[in-house]
Chain A
Amino acid sequence: QSALTQPASVSGSPGQSVTISCTGTSSDVGDYNLVSWYQKYSGKAPKVIIYEVTERPSGVSNRFSGSKSGNTASLTISGLQPEDEADYYCCSYASSVTLVFGGGTKVTVL
Chain B
Amino acid sequence: EVELVESGGGLVQPGGSLRLSCVASGFNFRKYDMHWVRQVTGKGLEWVSGIGTAGDTKYPGSVKDRFTISRENAKNSVYLQLNSLRVGDTAVYYCARGLREFNFYTMGVWGQGTTVTVSS
Chain A interfacial positions (CB closer than 8 Å to B): 1, 3, 34, 36, 38, 40, 44-48, 51-52, 57, 89, 91, 93, 97-104
Contacts and interface: CB of A to CB of B under 8 A. Distances in A.
Interface in B65-91: none
The interface residues of chain B, by DSSP majority, are classed as: strand
Contacts of B47: 91, 97-101
A103 B106 contact: no
A52 B94 CA distance: 21
A50 to B, nearest CB: 9
Nearest to B95: A45
B107 A48 contact: yes
B37 to A, nearest CB: 8
A45 B61 contact: no
A40 B94 CA distance: 12
B105 A97 contact: no
5 contacts: A36-B105, A46-B37, A91-B47, A93-B105, A99-B50
A62 B43 CA distance: 28
